Amino acid sequence: MAFIVNTIGAIIMRQYEYSPYILSLKEGDNLFKSIINYASYANLKSASISGIGALSNVTMGFYHRDTKQHTRKLFQETYEIASLTGNVTLADEGWFVHIHAALGGDNFQLFGGHLINAEASASTEIVIFPLNYTVIREKHPDLEIKVIPPFITL
């Protein structure tokens, strides 16, 4: 039997220790802070995430290997989530949430990339698939970003 816990302003549904969770966010909640708060609350080791619904005040990024920098762009309207996938891991500074998303506006055009920041909008629902092991990110020696090891060069 699933149960519902109201914590940190989000509704959480869960059945077993490693069964998926549904994190339903309130409008205006910061997506990343909500996921991190829940990861701490649930004492997750690591997780895979997926999402549907809508986001607003979205900052997207594109990583340039040559400059080792992200180009960032802010989208201030509300956008439907066409695809949202990522993971929750650990890094030196604590929880590390890595998300990529494809979003669409009222013109039915999609855009996407590395999700850097976003707020929940109408019916933002994140499914968290807990892993029973801890994944720790490390700085890649060439890319200068935190990645999941091993570092393999083909």
Domains in the chain: boundaries? 3-147
The pLDDT, as a whole number, for residue 144 is 84
pTM for this predicted structure? 0.85
Q: What is the mean pLDDT of residues 121-137?
A: 94
Q: Could you tell me how far CA 146 lies from the centroid of its own chain?
A: 15
CATH of region 3-147: 3.30.1330.80
Average pLDDT over residues 128-153: 86
Cis bond before residue 150 (omega within 30° of 0) = yes
Confidence of residue 82 (pLDDT cuts 50, 70, 90): very high
Confidence at 4, pLDDT banded by 50, 70, 90: very low
Please give the pLDDT value at position 153. Answer: 56
User: What is the model's pLDDT at position 53?
Assistant: 98
Percent of all residues in the chain with a pLDDT value above 70, rounded to a whole number = 86
Q: Is-contact 100 108, C-beta < 8 A? A: no
Q: What is the mean pLDDT of the chain?
A: 89
For the residues 22-30, what does the mean pLDDT come to? 95
CA distance linking residue 48 with residue 91, whole number of Å: 15
Average pLDDT of 97-104? Answer: 98
